């Protein structure tokens, strides 16, 4: 892939790439459609409007919106002007937004009407520098001094945009770890280009004939690639959905808009497969699906493919690398593994001493090298140094490579268990438990026995109307894995604690266990 020129602006790049597609549908949201011509026009107007409001190059603007075309136009409009959108999760609390406003020193906020009250609470709670409030799809009278997004954008004269450097800070995403405050992850203009080239085109082979629908929202790095930078880099159409990605909401878009590519997370795939109204293959037009967020259990991949006749391409990415760097490939899917390094990225497994592991079947810490790594975490030198180590980025995940070169997830660094001196991946035990017909979900943590030795404990959610005993599930795991890995304790629960992105919060289970 040819590197982009030094002076590079991703929004201007997309406008250029799609100049010959003015009439083609770019975005379909809950309210209507936008063609590529209309998208380019709105991006250039939005860019000019932000500049006219007094926003300068590198000023940060908070982008707190539900998925819709205004999100895409706001993001690209800011990039076009050289203003830096700070894209935040719509599911957070006012306290979280107060932290992000103060940390980013955002000068303006672009916000959905429904999220305005929470943002206003954040503004009244914390220190902030907001000077402009722009409200998308407002229905009620606006707060004093606030702007209506549509009126502001349509009144502006389209701008030519900023002649940015490709390595200039372009946008932020907040990355949350299991401990500490969220970290503002600073990405450049070219990072969007590289992920679209290497994953969107290189692995998913997106084409302008594709219609892409992502259950993962735009504020996640995964959703941003799936539903913005990848499809718009090839002139495809995108289906955007504001509501929560329940199975029913996803089925509605899959059957109405007939996306050819669907991007989701394992929990979502599992929920859809368990739903009574799962549409038949003939009611959808899927050619390819992608999965990330957590490793995809083999059973889910196999059942999805059996039902819909298309593969799920499972990969792992990170907010820090912007998108997926290790992945299966269309036509070369090994369910239960995360595949191999995406061409353009290099991965390494390192042992506890930091030495590179060259042997097979040995669990190690995953490091990545590639052109889309973030510059740093804002205001956090210590964590930046720990994660961004020269050309290498530490992922915080443990992996194992088999003799054929396929990588399999072995848990987070902080979730790994050592039982009788041997590493046990809680993920491996969970993935086995969910193969049992009665099990919907499972989470495994370490629990100290009476002697203070670590043993595995599984929290299990059963499928509605199903039954299983502790002994039955233990025998099931023993049959499939090395016997020492079976969970010594099983507790049946009605749900598991999860992050907004659907990742199981094992640390919460550990806290409960150790109370
Ligand atoms: O969770 C992932 O695997 C992921 C994938 C793409 C982009 C970002 C993330 C966190």
Q: Residue 120 and residue 56: Cα distance in Å, rounded?
A: 24
Residue 285 has pLDDT above 90, yes or no: yes
Average pLDDT on 175-195 reads: 85
Residue 268 has pLDDT above 90, yes or no: no
Residue 514 has pLDDT above 80, yes or no: no
| Ligand 1 pocket residues where CB is under 6 Å | 221-222, 292-293, 316-319, 323-324
Q: Residue 329 and residue 407: Cα distance in Å, rounded?
A: 13
Average pLDDT on 71-85 reads: 98
Helix (H) or strand (E) holding 424: strand 422-424
In the chain, the percentage of residues whose pLDDT exceeds 90 is 80
Write out pLDDT tens, residues 390-410: 999 999 888 999 999 999 988
Residue 421 has pLDDT above 70, yes or no: no
Please tell me the predicted confidence (pLDDT) of residue 347.
98
Q: Residue 378 and residue 186: Cα distance in Å, rounded?
A: 7
Please tell me the predicted confidence (pLDDT) of residue 140.
82
Listed in order, strand segments (DSSP E) in 125-201 are 132-136, 147-148, 169-175, 183-188
Q: Compute the Cα dihedral for 233, 237, 242, 247 and give only its sign.
A: negative
Q: Residue 65 and residue 218: Cα distance in Å, rounded?
A: 9
Please tell me the predicted confidence (pLDDT) of residue 97.
92
C-alpha 316 to ligand 1 mean position (Å): 6
Please tell me the predicted confidence (pLDDT) of residue 413.
76
Query: Which burial class, exposed, middle or buried, applies to 483 when counting CB atoms under 10 A from its CB (0-12, 13-18, 19+)?
Result: exposed
Task: Choose the residue to mutate in 269, 324, 326, 407 for probing ligand 1, maximizing ligand atoms within 8 Å of C-beta.
Answer: 324
Taking CA atoms, 53 is separated from 48, 93, 299, in Å, by 9, 28, 52
Scan for tokens 């450049």, then name that residue.
188
φ/ψ of 190, rounded to 5, equals -75, -20
Please tell me the predicted confidence (pLDDT) of residue 360.
93
Please tell me the predicted confidence (pLDDT) of residue 414.
63
Task: Choose the residue to mutate in 191, 204, 227, 318 for probing ligand 1, maximizing ligand atoms within 8 Å of C-beta.
Answer: 318
Whether the Cβ atoms of residue 284 and residue 310 lie closer than 8 Å to each other: no
Tokens standing for 260? 């050819």
Scan for tokens 């940015």, then name that residue.
164
Locate all alpha helices (DSSP H) within 175-246, ordered by sequence: 189-195, 221-224, 230-234
C-alpha 322 to ligand 1 mean position (Å): 7
ipTM for this prediction = 0.98
Q: Residue 39 and residue 43: Cα distance in Å, rounded?
A: 6
Residue 92 has pLDDT above 70, yes or no: yes
Whether the Cβ atoms of residue 166 and residue 194 lie closer than 8 Å to each other: no
Write out pLDDT tens, residues 442-463: 999 988 777 666 688 999 999 9
C-alpha 477 to ligand 1 mean position (Å): 29
Please tell me the predicted confidence (pLDDT) of residue 416.
66
CB atoms within 10 A of CB 9: 26
Per-residue pLDDT band for 26 (boundaries 50, 70, 90) equals very high
CB atoms within 10 A of CB 160: 10
Average pLDDT on 29-56 reads: 98
User: DSSP labels for 235-263?
Assistant: T-EEE---S---HHHHHHHHHHT--SEEE
Residue 178 has pLDDT above 60, yes or no: no
Residue 276 has pLDDT above 60, yes or no: yes
In a 3-state reduction of DSSP, which class is residue 19?
A: helix
Give me the residues paired with residue 109 across strands: 62, 133
Please tell me the predicted confidence (pLDDT) of residue 387.
95
Per-residue pLDDT band for 296 (boundaries 50, 70, 90) equals confident
In the chain, the percentage of residues whose pLDDT exceeds 70 is 96
Helix (H) or strand (E) holding 401: strand 392-401
Q: Whose CA is nearest to atom 10 of ligand 1?
A: 318
- Average pLDDT score over the chain: 93
Q: Residue 191 and residue 185: Cα distance in Å, rounded?
A: 12
Please give the model's pTM, rounded to 2 decimal places.
0.86
Please tell me the predicted confidence (pLDDT) of residue 417.
75
Write out pLDDT tens, residues 196-233: 999 999 999 999 999 999 999 999 999 999 999 999 99
Q: Whose CA is nearest to atom 5 of ligand 1?
A: 317
Please tell me the predicted confidence (pLDDT) of residue 498.
87
C-alpha 392 to ligand 1 mean position (Å): 17
């Amino acid at each position: 892939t040819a590197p982009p020129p030094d002076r590079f602006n991703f929004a201007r790049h997309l406008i250029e790439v799609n100049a010959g597609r003015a009439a083609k549908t770019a975005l379909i949201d809950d309210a209507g459609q936008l063609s590529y011509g209309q998208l380019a026009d709105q991006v250039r107007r939005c860019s000019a409007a932000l500049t006219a409001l007094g926003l300068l190059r590198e000023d940060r603007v908070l982008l707190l919106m539900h998925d819709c075309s205004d999100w895409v136009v706001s993001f690209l409009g800011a990039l076009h002007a050289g203003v830096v959108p700070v894209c935040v999760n719509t599911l957070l609390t006012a306290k979280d937004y107060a932290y992000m406003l103060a940390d980013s020193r955002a000068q303006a906020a672009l916000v959905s009407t429904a999220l305005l009250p929470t943002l206003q609470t954040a503004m009244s709670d914390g220190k902030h520098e907001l000077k402009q409030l722009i409200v998308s799809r407002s229905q009620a009278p606006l707060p004093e001094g606030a702007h209506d997004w549509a009126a502001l954008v349509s009144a502006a004269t389209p701008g030519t945009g900023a002649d940015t450097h490709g390595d200039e800070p372009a946008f932020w995403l907040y990355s949350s770890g299991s401990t500490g405050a969220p970290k503002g992850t600073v990405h450049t203009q070219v990072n969007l280009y590289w992920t679209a080239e290497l994953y969107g085109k290189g692995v998913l082979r997106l084409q302008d004939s594709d219609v892409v629908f992502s259950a993962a929202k735009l504020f996640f790095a995964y959703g941003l690639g799936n539903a913005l930078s990848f499809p718009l880099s090839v002139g495809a159409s995108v289906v955007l959905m504001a509501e929560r990605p329940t199975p029913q909401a996803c089925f509605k878009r899959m059957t109405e808009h007939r996306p050819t590519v669907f991007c989701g997370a394992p929990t979502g795939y599992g929920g859809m497969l368990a739903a009574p109204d799962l549409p038949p293959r003939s009611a959808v037009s899927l050619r390819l699906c992608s999965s990330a967020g957590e490793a995809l259990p083999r059973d889910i991949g196999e059942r999805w493919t059996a039902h819909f006749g298309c593969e799920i391409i499972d990969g792992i990415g990170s907010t820090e690398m912007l998108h997926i760097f290790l992945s299966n490939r269309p036509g070369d899917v090994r369910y239960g593994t995360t595949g191999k390094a995406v061409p353009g990225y290099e991965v390494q497994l390192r042992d506890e001493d930091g030495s590179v592991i060259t042997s097979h079947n040995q669990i190690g810490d995953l490091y990545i090298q590639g052109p889309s790594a973030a510059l740093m975490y804002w205001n956090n030198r210590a964590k930046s140094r720990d994660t961004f180590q020269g050309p290498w980025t530490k992922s915080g995940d443990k992996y194992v490579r088999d003799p054929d070169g396929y990588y399999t997830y072995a848990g987070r660094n902080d979730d790994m268990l050592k039982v009788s001196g041997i590493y046990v991946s809680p993920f491996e035990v969970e993935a086995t438990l969910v193969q049992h017909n009665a099990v919907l979900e499972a989470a495994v943590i370490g629990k100290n026995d009476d002697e203070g030795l670590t043993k595995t404990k599984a929290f299990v959610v059963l499928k509605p109307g199903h039954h299983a005993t502790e002994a039955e599930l233990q025998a099931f795991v023993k049959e499939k894995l090395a016997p020492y890995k079976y969970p010594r304790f099983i507790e049946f629960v009605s749900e598991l604690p999860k992050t907004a992105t659907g990742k199981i919060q094992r640390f919460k289970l550990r806290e409960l266990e150790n109370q």
